[in-house]
Amino acid sequence: MKEKIKKWIECFVEEYQKRPDILAKWGQPLAQFAQADHPYIQNLPALIPGHQLPQEVLPGAVSILVYYIPFTRELARTNQGKEELASAQWARTYEETNAMFRDLNEQLSAWLGEKGVRAAVPEASSTFDQKALMSGWSHRHFAWAAGLGTFGMNNMLITRQGCCGRFFSLVTDLEVETDVPVQGEYCLYKQDQSCGVCMEYCPAQALSPQGYDRQSCYKILQKNAQVHTGYGSSYVSADKVTPNSPGSDVCGKCVANAPCAFRGFGPERKRENVCC
Ligand code: SF4
Ligand code: SF4
């Protein structure tokens, strides 16, 4: 079943990007499962105030399907450099990806339902608390528990295919062999401080060895949202209706410029072919 689900997601993305009304292209998706009662997941409300548990989203939850859809190197190139604002292509692809997620999750849930598997997506996945600057549903933390990668200095989860892409997660009651968190680090700075590109390119100086300054980062996202107003706005406030922004809350300089954009640095740490 696990392989069938991965294949289903791959086929969906391949077909979706043929649509004439979108410009986005995506790479090969990754999909893995986390155990719903994994101690790391059960501890998320303590780590992130207001974070929901899988069992609150789907009574009887057993596993969480987490998938990663990579962007392309061509898209990353449009957003490289030290300009303060993101490229228009980046903003458009961000919104088109979020729109695709809605269709994908709906159709995947229906397909799973035909096979007797229940699946649910929490409302919190599309809301964002503008005061706390946190979501009540962190796809990236589920991705960590599902063994998809490790956190980098850029506050992204770096997979074996990099961090230039987007994650999504669905709670299911599927009894499946779940994956385990990655041992070690895919981020070069966390390995031996031999990188720091994401910190160097952040226009808000929001990244440093001391951590991630979400207030400074959000100011840049808001600046982008004032400019990139033509592609929609993916997130709504806690009232679940009002859009958070007039446009796209994007930036992505810390992934588009990063050597870990399209690969994770495993133990072998080879740096060839890292340029995006
Ligand atoms: S750019 Fe370098 S320091 Fe930043 S997350 Fe990637 S590997 Fe780590
Ligand atoms: S998204 Fe932009 S502002 Fe936020 S941490 Fe990354 S580079 Fe900095």
266 domain residue, yes or no: no
What is the pLDDT, as a whole number, of residue 125? 66
* Cβ-based neighbours of 70, under 8 Å, separated by 6 or more: 26, 27, 28, 29, 161, 162, 164, 165, 262
87 domain residue, yes or no: yes
d(CA 199, ligand 1 centre) in Å: 8
63 domain residue, yes or no: yes
pLDDT at 276 over 60: no
What are the angstrom distances between the C-alpha of 175 and each of 4, 9, 61, 114, 167? 14, 19, 10, 16, 22
275 domain residue, yes or no: no
153 domain residue, yes or no: yes
What is the pLDDT, as a whole number, of residue 126? 62
What is the pLDDT, as a whole number, of residue 275? 45
What is the pLDDT, as a whole number, of residue 249? 93
Three-state secondary structure call for residue 197: helix
Q: Is 229 exposed, middle or buried (0-12, 13-18, 19+ CB in 10 A)?
A: middle
One-letter identity of residue 253? K
Atom of ligand 2 at shortest range from CA of 250? 1
What is the pLDDT, as a whole number, of residue 267? 67
Strand partners, 172: 63, 119
CA angle 190, 69, 88 (to 5 degrees): 95
* Cβ-based neighbours of 5, under 8 Å, separated by 6 or more: 31, 65, 108, 112
Number of domains in the chain: 1
Look at 230 and 222; give whichever has higher pLDDT: 222
pLDDT at 235 over 80: no
pLDDT at 188 over 50: yes
pLDDT tier at 221, thresholds 50, 70, 90: very high
Find the mean pLDDT for residues 149-165: 97
Find the mean pLDDT for residues 83-112: 96
From CA 41, how far away is CA 173, in angstroms rounded? 16
Mutate to test the pocket of ligand 1, among 151, 157, 260, 262 (most ligand atoms within 8 A of CB): 260
Give the tens place of pLDDT for each residue, 22-42.
999 999 999 999 999 999 999
d(CA 142, ligand 1 centre) in Å: 20
Helical segments of 36-153, H only: 39-42, 44-47, 54-57, 73-78, 88-114, 139-145
Give the tens place of pLDDT for each residue, 108-142.
999 999 999 999 998 766 666 666 677 788 999 99
Q: What beta strand segments (E) does the chain contain?
A: 30-35, 63-70, 119-120, 149-151, 157-159, 165-172, 207-208, 211-212
Using alpha carbons, select from 128, 118, 126, 121 the residue that is nearest to residue 104: 121
pTM listed for this prediction: 0.91
From CA 82, how far away is CA 154, in angstroms rounded? 16
Atom of ligand 1 at shortest range from CA of 186? 7
264 domain residue, yes or no: no
Percent of the chain with pLDDT over 90: 80
177 domain residue, yes or no: yes
Q: Who lines ligand 2 at CB under 6 A?
A: 154, 202-204, 206-207, 217, 220, 251-254
pLDDT at 274 over 60: no
48 domain residue, yes or no: yes
Q: Is 192 exposed, middle or buried (0-12, 13-18, 19+ CB in 10 A)?
A: exposed
Find the mean pLDDT for residues 89-97: 97
Which range marks the domain in which residue 172 is found? 2-256
